[in-house]
Amino acid sequence: MSATSKASAKPAISCRNLTKAYGHTTAVSGLNLSVGRGEVFGLLGPNGAGKTTTILMLLGLTEPTKGTVRVLGLDPTKQALQVKRRVGYLPDAVGFYPTLTGRANLRYTARLNGLRGAEAEQRIDEVLELVGLSGRADDRVSKYSRGMGQRLGIADALIKQPEVLILDEPTVGLDPQAADQVLATITSLAADRGVTVLLSSHLLTQVQAVCHRIGIFVSGSLVAAGTIDELAAAHGGRITIEVGVHGGDPSDILRRLDGVVDVRRDGDVFLVGAQRDVREQIGQQLGRAGFVLVHLRQRPEELGQIYRRYFSESDHDAA
C-alpha cells in the first residue's frame, strides 16, 4: 500500500518549462503546470492559444521543443504506448468512420486497446450507457447529430478505462442541454471513479461549472492558474453581488457596509462590488432597514471578468 499512496501523492500531469515551437512561431512557451490525481483541471483560453498543442504533447503525439512532460510519471515522448494505454483522449472536433455504426467504431477502439470478445462488448455497453447512446448504438455514425458524435467521442475515450482523461473542447458545437449532459458526465467520472480530467475550452461558464482548478492560457503562456477564488484574489479580490429589493433604493446602506467598494444600479438590480462575500451582512442590514430582499446572489461570471482582464492585459503587452 505504501507504494500506492506514494503514487497518488505524485501529480497525474506535470509540465516543466514546456515549450513547443513550429518554425518561428511559438505555440507554447515555458509552460509550468501540475494537475493532481482525481482533479478536474480546465485549460481556458481563446482559440489558437496553445491548448491543443499542449494536449498533443501530453499524449506524446508531438514532441516538445524544450522542457519536460510527465503523465502518470511517464515521459509521453519515450513511453508513448504506456501513456496512451492509460490516458483517454477526446480530440478537438472528433470524427468517426461514417459508414460504421457507433458500436462498431467503439469496437475498433477496444481492439486497438487489446480488448476482445465479451469483455470488450461489456465495456462498450457500459460506456454507451454512460453517455446515453445505447438506443442509437447500431445506427451508422453518418446519421448522428453533432452532439451524439461528441458523446460517442467521450465513450470512445472511456473504453480503455483511463486514469487520465484529456478532453479538447468537449462541449464545442453542442446545444446547452447536450453540453450540460457532457459536463455532468465529466463531473461524475471524476467524483465516482477518481479519474483525473484535463479539459480545454474557450467557454468560461462551463469550465467554471466543472473544474476544480483553472489555467488561463494566452498566446502560448499560462498567465494564471488556480482555483476560481485564488484567481479572483490575485486580481484585487473583487466580487460582484446582485441585490434585488422591494421598498426603495438601498444604495446608501449598502455603501456603508464593511468591505463594499461600490454600488451600481443595473435595472431593478443593484450590483455591489465587494472585496469579499458580504451577502450575510447585506441580508441583515437590509432586513433591519425594512427592505424586503427578493434577490441576492454572487455573480457567477467572475471568471469572465478575470478572463477578460487577463486578455486585455496581454493585448496591451502585445501592443
Q: Please give the residue ranges that form the binding site for another protein (CB under 8 A).
A: 1, 3-5, 7-8, 12, 37-38, 52, 56, 59, 61-63, 72-75, 78-82, 84-87, 89, 91-99, 108-109, 111-115, 119, 153, 156, 160-161, 163, 193-196
Nearer to another protein, 4 or 177 (CB): 4
Of 101, 102, 100, 90, which Cα lies nearest the Cα of 198? 90
Closest separation in Å from C-beta 95 to another protein: 3
Closest separation in Å from C-beta 286 to another protein: 46
Look-up of cell digits 489555467: 215
Contacts of 214 (CB under 8 A, 6+ apart): 41, 42, 43, 44, 207, 208, 225, 226, 227, 228, 231, 303
C-alpha span between 197 and 199 (Å, rounded)? 6
Nearer to another protein, 24 or 316 (CB): 24
CA 78 to centroid of chain Cα atoms: 27
Nearer to another protein, 130 or 261 (CB): 130
Nearer to another protein, 84 or 151 (CB): 84
* Type of residue found at 270: F
Closest separation in Å from C-beta 179 to another protein: 20
Closest separation in Å from C-beta 178 to another protein: 19
Of 262, 295, 296, which Cα lies nearest the Cα of 279? 296
Q: Is the distance from CB of 148 to CB of 139 less than 8 angstroms?
A: no
Closest separation in Å from C-beta 118 to another protein: 10
Q: Please, what's the b/e burial string for 189-209 (b: 16 or more CB within 10 A of its CB; e: otherwise)?
A: bbeeeebbbbbbbbebebbbb
Closest separation in Å from C-beta 114 to another protein: 3
Nearer to another protein, 101 or 240 (CB): 101
Nearer to another protein, 98 or 236 (CB): 98
